[in-house]
Amino acid sequence: QVQVVESGGGLVQPGGSLRLSCTISGSSFSPYTMGWYRQAPGKRRALVATLTGGRNTNYVDAVKGRFTISRDNAKNTVYLQMNILKVEDTAVYYCNDITARYVWGQGTQVTVSS
């Protein structure tokens, strides 16, 4: 059974950094374009970063230059390095491929607050 587990969230002050991890067990994701999504309170889940199997990346403007998505196919893990965090980055963060082929995990809460 495929399981998606996100981790690495927490409480951080504005300007701080966090590194999120997403491990997918029971399936190899190496050929798929993976993405990190976030859902802020009262808003719909939205895609913020994608990474193809060929290592091409794409980011929404709100996180461009601050977030970096990467992957370790041998570990079936996707990462999201988040720097210069802002209050508006507060959300629950999820990963999935861009077609949402996996059952959504629990996500990991990121709270940016002074």
Cβ neighbours for 86, distance < 8 A, ≥ 6 positions apart = 14, 112
Integer Cα distance of 76 and 59 in angstroms: 21
What does the pLDDT read at residue 2? 85
| Contact partners, residue 108, CB within 8 Å, separation at least 6 | 6, 7, 8, 9, 20, 92, 93
The one-digit pLDDT tens for each residue of the chain (114 residues) are 889 999 999 999 999 999 999 999 887 776 789 999 999 999 999 999 999 987 899 999 999 999 999 999 889 999 999 999 999 999 999 999 999 889 999 999 999 999
Q: What pLDDT does residue 59 have?
A: 98
Per-residue pLDDT reduced to its tens digit, 32-61: 899 999 999 999 999 999 999 878 999 999
User: Within 13 A of 43's CA, how many CA atoms are on the CB side?
Assistant: 14
